[in-house]
């Protein structure tokens, strides 16, 4: 019997960077909740974005945000995993040196950017429905939980970051535009395990959905792991099962079958 369902957002439930949830998915989350099944939104997004996108059902979900750095429920934080200050500052400086990348830093309450990129700021506030502030110096931000490197196509442009920091941080692609960095041991998968332990839920009672490298650790925490059809090859290889694409509401189809 399935007792917990976790799903990524971008590329899985909505288009990448989308801010509107299909009404049928909203109704499905309500139905899952009414069946006594825990529904978890697991995303690289900040919790503010998750709450805004899932406004109608925010009291019926748990959220794993910032790739596992933050676990919360209905406006209340449960677990927060901060990055090492010294490593964070060095990473920010290295991203700053790379002219192909833009650094965005997250703490518990907001995102921060030091480059006045109107497109990116408007996208995070509008498309992602999140919170972002312009600051003079990202190295002055305290209690950082995630650092991201943005580029229109980040693949190949952040190889130096990956090589230098993979042994110090968890470094994952979160789509074509984002490279996300969190503290070592922080992932969607480990965050999901905390919720499984809290509710005494086993792997074979857990179903998860995702599409990117940052979902792979989450796949390992569940027997019923689904990659959507449009997923990256690394996610398809790690998942045990396949679902239709996000555009064809693949997650909804599987959950309809489940219920």
pLDDT of residue 172: 86
Mean per-residue pLDDT of the chain: 95
Mean predicted confidence (pLDDT) in 140-169: 94
Mean predicted confidence (pLDDT) in 2-16: 94
pLDDT of residue 18: 75
Answer with the one of 129, 152, 183 that is the final residue of a domain: 183
Mean predicted confidence (pLDDT) in 128-149: 96
Let me know whether 118 and 74 are in one domain.
no
pLDDT of residue 191: 97
Residue 20: pLDDT band (50, 70, 90) is: confident
Local structure of 36: helix, strand or coil: coil
pLDDT of residue 94: 97
pLDDT of residue 45: 92
What is the dihedral sign for C-alpha 89, 78, 63, 109?
A: negative
pLDDT of residue 44: 92
Mean predicted confidence (pLDDT) in 36-41: 98
The tokens describing 9, both together, are: 């957002």
| Domain span including residue 163 | 85-183
pLDDT of residue 19: 77
Q: Domain containing 56 — which CATH number?
A: 3.40.50.1000
Angle between helices 23-34 and 250-258 (to 10 degrees): 30
pLDDT of residue 15: 84
Q: Domain containing 141 — which CATH number?
A: 3.30.1240.10
Let me know whether 16 and 100 are in one domain.
no
Mean predicted confidence (pLDDT) in 15-44: 92
Q: Distance between CA atoms of 33 and 54, rounded to whole angstroms?
A: 14
Beta strands in the chain (DSSP E): 4-7, 38-42, 61-65, 70-73, 76-80, 102-106, 111-113, 132-134, 146-150, 169-173, 178-183, 206-210, 224-228, 241-243
């Amino acid at each position: 019997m399935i007792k917990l369902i976790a799903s990524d957002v971008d590329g899985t439930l909505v288009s990448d960077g989308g801010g509107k949830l299909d009404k049928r998915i909203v109704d499905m989350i309500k139905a899952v909740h009414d069946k006594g099944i825990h529904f978890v939104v697991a995303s690289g997004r900040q919790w503010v974005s998750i709450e805004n996108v899932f406004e109608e059902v925010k009291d019926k979900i748990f959220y794993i945000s910032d790739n596992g750095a933050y676990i919360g429920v209905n406006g209340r934080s449960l677990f927060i995993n901060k990055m090492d200050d010294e490593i964070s500052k060095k990473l920010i400086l290295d991203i700053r040196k790379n002219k192909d990348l833009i650094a965005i830093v997250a703490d518990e309450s907001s995102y921060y950017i030091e480059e006045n990129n109107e497109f990116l700021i408007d996208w995070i506030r509008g498309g992602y429905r999140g919170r972002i502030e312009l600051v003079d110096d990202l190295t002055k931000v305290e209690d950082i939980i995630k650092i991201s490197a943005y580029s229109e196509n980040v693949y190949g442009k952040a190889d130096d970051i990956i090589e230098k920091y993979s042994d110090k941080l968890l470094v994952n692609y979160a789509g074509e535009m984002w490279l996300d960095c969190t503290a070592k041991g922080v992932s969607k998968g480990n965050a999901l395990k905390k919720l499984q332990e809290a509710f005494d839920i086993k792997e074979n009672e857990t179903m998860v959905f995702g599409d990117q490298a940052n979902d792979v650790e989450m796949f390992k925490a569940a027997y019923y792991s689904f990659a959507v059809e449009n997923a990256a090859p690394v996610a398809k290889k790690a998942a045990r099962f396949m679902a239709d694409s996000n555009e064809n509401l693949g997650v909804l189809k599987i959950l309809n079958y489940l219920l």
